Amino acid sequence: MKTQWLNGRIRMLPWTLPSLVATSVAVLGIIVATAAITRPATSPELEIRGADISFTLQEEANNQILSANGQTAPLETILAQHGANYARLRVWVNPPKGTSDLVSALTLARRAHAAGLHILLDLHYSDSWADRTTQQTPAAWQGQTLEQLRSTVETYTRDVVAAFARQATPVAMVQIGNETTHGMLWPTGQIYKQTGEDWTGYAELVKAGIRGAKEASPGNSNIPLIMLHSDTGGDRGASTYYFDHLRQQGVTFDVIGLTYYPFWNGSLASLQENLLVLADRYSKDILIAETAYPWTLSSGGGVQSVVTSRDALPDAAAYPPTPQGQAHFFEALNQILREVPNGHGVGYLIWEPGWLPGVPADARTGNSHSNLTLFDWWGHGLPALDAFRPTGTAGP
């Protein structure tokens, strides 16, 4: 598995269902203790260290300049210089020009590739943000039957993945939907409906996306890995519920993707517990597809930050919301992932480390994440840039 990845390939708000809450604490203790006893020595380094950089062109259009160690450079160059090897790129189906559209993603892919970064393609299957709270079907796809939508998803995925390959920046991994804990392409692919719980439509659409991603690589060359993405990083019950159902539906994929923001998803201890259970249960590689940590509790650009209180940070005593505390948090996250059994904790992607104040999330929403960047509000690099090194630190 390790050799495959080094050649560009590897093999992969908290939510708990009431029915899962009753799980025995004693049994959990046995599971975690057993994993701790049987797991191998810590992996020497993480295989994937990278970032979602989808806002980069919009930041540059807003005249934002980034620097590290006194030297200005494009974001992807700074990240690569600090040890990053992966860039995640968001693609919406038909958004306003220049806002996570395919043209922008292809431009960033060329730059990331030139900097030596692999590409993870994050397909939202929506015209705007898709997450656990909203998975709106693109306007042009609305009104289609499940059969029609399956065909649309397959063709769309194939064409987008092929577009990256045509410009000699093939994607290493494709994310079929973004934070699809409740499904995607609502209402057809919605899991939790007023009529009850239904996984069939979602599973069929995911399978269509997977087929399209693989069809984009003729001759079985450069077939991207497939990641499925849940927003349940610190919640083992919700995570296993989601991935158990995918397995029951016959969905085959390579990588478990998790969102983990401690102010929404819990402590590092809860994440570690989840990682141990998932690695043992599914024997798949696990990637923290999104994560971030504040370097300040202040707000920038006149927009209140998403986290403004130490009380929102479960591990604030060990990792205070300061530049150095942020760096130590990522060092700890790196260590936890390297301790996942059989090397299944493959890495993490920091979400939008260069999203400085001034660029809104969309036409109605400002940037409430500007205190989660790896640069201060003047574009100067922070100590946590060392999170992209194999062990999350510049030290030995």
Q: How far apart are the first and last CA of the chain?
A: 26
Q: What is the pLDDT of residue 43?
A: 83
* Residue with tokens 């205070």, as numbered in its chain: 320
The first and second tokens of residue 51, run together, are: 């970032």
Is 182 exposed, middle or buried, given 0-12, 13-18 or 19+ CB atoms closer than 10 A? Answer: buried
- pLDDT above 80 (res 19): no
Q: What is the pLDDT of residues 21-62, one digit of tens each?
A: 333 333 344 333 333 434 446 789 999 999 999 999 999 999
Q: What is the pLDDT of residue 236?
A: 97
Q: What is the pLDDT of residue 367?
A: 94
The distance from CA 280 to its chain's CA centroid, rounded to whole angstroms, is: 21
Q: What is the pLDDT of residue 21?
A: 35
- Per-residue CA distances from 45 to 187, 258, 338, 346 (Å): 42, 19, 7, 9
Residue 50 backbone phi and psi in degrees, to 5: -165, -160
Q: What is the pLDDT of residue 4?
A: 37
The first and second tokens of residue 224, run together, are: 């991207």
- pLDDT above 50 (res 66): yes
Instruction: Count other C-beta atoms under 10 Å from residue 376's C-beta.
Output: 16
Which residue type, as a one-letter code, is found at position 259? T
Q: What percent of the chain has pLDDT over 90?
A: 85
Q: What is the pLDDT of residue 133?
A: 96
Tell me what the pLDDT averaged over the chain comes to.
90
- pLDDT above 60 (res 9): no
CA distance linking residue 298 with residue 183, whole number of Å: 34
Q: What is the pLDDT of residues 242-292, one digit of tens each?
A: 999 999 999 999 999 999 999 999 999 999 999 999 999 999 999 999 999
CA distance linking residue 14 with residue 239, whole number of Å: 10
Q: What is the pLDDT of residue 2?
A: 35
pLDDT band at 20 (very low <50, low <70, confident <90, very high): very low
CA distance linking residue 376 with residue 272, whole number of Å: 29
- pLDDT above 90 (res 239): yes
pLDDT band at 3 (very low <50, low <70, confident <90, very high): very low
Q: What is the pLDDT of residues 223-235, one digit of tens each?
A: 999 999 999 999 9
Task: Note the CATH number of domain 2-8+27-388.
Answer: 3.20.20.80
Q: What is the pLDDT of residue 41?
A: 62
Longest Cα–Cα distance of the chain, Å, equals: 58
Instruction: Give the mean pLDDT of 94-98.
Output: 97
- Residues serving a catalytic function are 179, 290
In three state form, how does the secondary structure of the chain look? CHHHHHCCCCCCCCCCCHHHHCCCHHHHHHHHHHHHHHCCCCCCCCCEEEEECCCHHHHHHCCCCCEECCEECCHHHHHHHCCCCEEEEEECCCCCCCCCCHHHHHHHHHHHHHCCCEEEEEECCCCCCCECCECECCHHHCCCCHHHHHHHHHHHHHHHHHHHHHCCCCCCEEEECCCCCCECCECCCECEECCEECCHHHHHHHHHHHHHHHHCCHHHCCCCEEEEEECCCCCHHHHHHHHHHHHHCCCCCCEEEEEECHHHHCCHHHHHHHHHHHHHHHCCEEEEEEECCCCCCCCCCCCCCCCCCHHHCCCCCCCCCCHHHHHHHHHHHHHHHHCCHHHCEEEEEEECCCCCCCCCCCCCCCCCCCCCCCECCCCEECHHHHHHCCCCCCCC
The first and second tokens of residue 116, run together, are: 């030596």
Q: List 89's β-bridge partners, or say none.
A: 121
